[in-house]
């Protein structure tokens, strides 16, 4: 049953107080003689009626007459009326049941901007419709440069611009798919969770997540008219709404501001990721260099320890004979003596008598004092000179040769 009829010299819109023609509803409703009214879709005779809920509309005189506007439920007509009212409240012109000049499409509500440069068709689709039919009807609008918004009562799988409307009494709410971007920043007192591994982490550029949102129908219509909300679909089936900034949601309505904000945060995070990757790479190379240095140092220390042990092993028998010759007693050896800079201490007559190959770097002032009364045996001139620099000036240092071990 249509909300528009032709009569009184033009098109009459039952959703407007003056029927869009500056006349009263009482000029067509239950008047005698009856006003001559026809349906714009099928040219059949119609008459003005009012539903039990007070909704004004036009009914065909012949209930069985074939017409594309037949079969509309009261919910369908109420939604069309609500959309038309919201369009007009937004300052746009609204035509109900408006058809293309060539008959390619017929919009439930055709909204036209005051300047005439934009047209948006609002299609209320409460009955089931195949996705292919929805896409085909949308394409026909696109050929005439008419935008379209589909209104469903349940989530749709087609990726066309659409909303799901829920009714609660007289309140109509767009339940989706609408998304807003919620931006956050890490606590300034702590580094960003993604940057805590850096030695000097930069400031957090922000994070965010896309969240589902709802809007009153009239506010949503106004946003569409102001071009303040954008459909992000691309024709594919819609995914869930939750997304990270790097992956803006598809198949939802959102504002350009949210898209720019998400893009800015995503770009800042990408730049920061590159910076952090560079710092991590430099830190990795620094650690690898340090690891190689430590390994080399450890290898050097190991080689020095091994060389020291070999010298001590070769020279200790020679030093033992020398001490035995000097004291008349065979000394016993104490290897790795901490008191004498890790040298082999030879003990005779109950006291330290000599030290074989102490480590020059381990000779402290206290160790030098303890060595001052002892004989220090070494294997070479460089070793002698290194130890002499750490000992007292009168320190007795004797160079032994490994060949003497076999003498």
Q: How would you classify the pairing of strands 162-168 and 171-184?
A: antiparallel
Burial level of 153, CB count in 10 A (0-12/13-18/19+)? Answer: middle
Q: Alpha-carbon distance 175 to 213, whole Å? A: 7
The string of DSSP codes covering 4-50 is EEEETTEEEETTSTTTTTT--GGGTSS-SSPP-EE-TTT--EEEEEE
- pLDDT at position 357 is 97
SS3 state of residue 322: helix
Q: Alpha-carbon distance 35 to 294, whole Å? A: 103
Give the CA radius of gyration of the chain: 48
The closest alpha carbon to 12, from 44, 53, 46, belongs to 46
Strand positions, DSSP E, 116-170: 119-124, 147-152, 162-168
> Helix axis angle, 74-89 relative to 217-225, nearest 10°?
50
DSSP class of residue 80 equals H
- pLDDT at position 158 is 66
Q: Which residues pair with 172 in a beta bridge?
A: 167
Give 340-353 as a 3 state SS string: HCCEEEEEECCEEE
Q: Which residues pair with 120 in a beta bridge?
A: 111, 147
Whether pTM > 0.85 for this model: the answer is no
- pLDDT at position 360 is 96
- pLDDT at position 281 is 93
- pLDDT at position 242 is 42
SS3 state of residue 296: helix
DSSP class of residue 8 equals T
The rounded average pLDDT for each run of 10 residues, N- to C-terminus, in the chain (407 residues) is: 86 88 90 90 90 86 79 84 95 93 93 96 91 92 95 81 90 91 81 79 83 94 95 56 53 89 87 88 93 96 94 95 94 96 95 97 96 96 96 96 60
CA–centroid distance for 37 within its chain? 59
Cβ neighbours, 10 Å, residue 302: 10
DSSP class of residue 395 equals -
End-to-end Cα, the chain, rounded Å: 128
Q: Alpha-carbon distance 49 to 68, whole Å? A: 19
Q: Alpha-carbon distance 358 to 43, whole Å? A: 119
Name, in order, each residue with C-beta under 8 angstroms of 265's C-beta and a sequence gap of 6 or more: 183, 205, 206, 207, 208, 245
Give 81-122 as a 3 state SS string: HHHHHHHHHCCCEEEEEEECCCCCCEEEEEEECCCCCCEEEE
The closest alpha carbon to 345, from 324, 326, 371, 325, belongs to 371
């Amino acid at each position: 049953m249509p909300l528009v009829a032709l009569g009184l010299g033009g098109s009459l819109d039952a959703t407007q107080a003056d029927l869009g023609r500056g006349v009263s509803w009482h000029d067509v409703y239950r008047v005698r003689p009856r006003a001559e009214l026809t349906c714009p879709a099928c040219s059949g005779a119609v008459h003005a009626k009012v539903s039990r809920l007070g909704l004004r509309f036009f009914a065909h005189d012949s209930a069985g007459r074939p017409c594309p506007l037949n079969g509309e439920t009261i919910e369908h007509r109420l939604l069309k009326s609500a959309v038309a009212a919201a369009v007009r409240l937004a300052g746009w012109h609204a035509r109900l049941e408006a058809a293309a000049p060539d008959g390619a499409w017929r919009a439930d509500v055709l909204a036209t901007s005051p300047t005439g440069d934009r047209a948006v068709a609002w299609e209320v689709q409460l009955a089931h419709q195949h996705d292919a039919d929805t896409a085909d009807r949308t394409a026909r609008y696109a050929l005439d440069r008419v935008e379209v918004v589909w209104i469903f009562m349940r989530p749709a799988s087609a990726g066309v611009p659409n909303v799901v409307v829920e009714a609660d009494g007289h309140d109509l709410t767009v339940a989706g798919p609408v998304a807003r971007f919620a931006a956050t920043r890490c606590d300034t007192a702590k580094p960003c969770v993604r940057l805590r591994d850096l030695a000097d982490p930069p400031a957090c550029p922000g994070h965010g997540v896309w969240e589902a949102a709802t809007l009153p129908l009239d506010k949503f219509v106004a946003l569409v008219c102001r071009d303040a909300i954008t459909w992000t679909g691309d024709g594919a089936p819609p995914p869930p709404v939750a997304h990270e900034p790097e992956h803006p949601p598809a198949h939802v309505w959102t504002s350009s501001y949210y898209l720019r904000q998400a893009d800015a945060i995503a770009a800042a995070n990408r730049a920061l990721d590159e910076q952090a990757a560079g710092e991590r790479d430099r830190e990795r190379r620094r650690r690898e260099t340090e690891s190689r240095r430590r390994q080399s140092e450890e290898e050097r220390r190991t080689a020095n320890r091994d060389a020291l042990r070999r010298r001590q092993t070769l020279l200790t028998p020679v030093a033992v004979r020398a001490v035995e010759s000097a004291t008349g007693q065979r000394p016993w050896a104490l290897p790795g003596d901490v008191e004498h800079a890790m040298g082999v201490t030879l003990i005779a007559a109950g006291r330290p008598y000599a030290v074989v190959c102490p480590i020059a770097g381990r000779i402290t002032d206290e160790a030098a004092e303890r060595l001052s009364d002892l004989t220090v045996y070494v294997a070479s001139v460089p070793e002698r000179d290194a130890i002499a620099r750490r000992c007292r000036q009168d320190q007795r240092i004797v160079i032994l040769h490994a060949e003497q071990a076999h003498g």
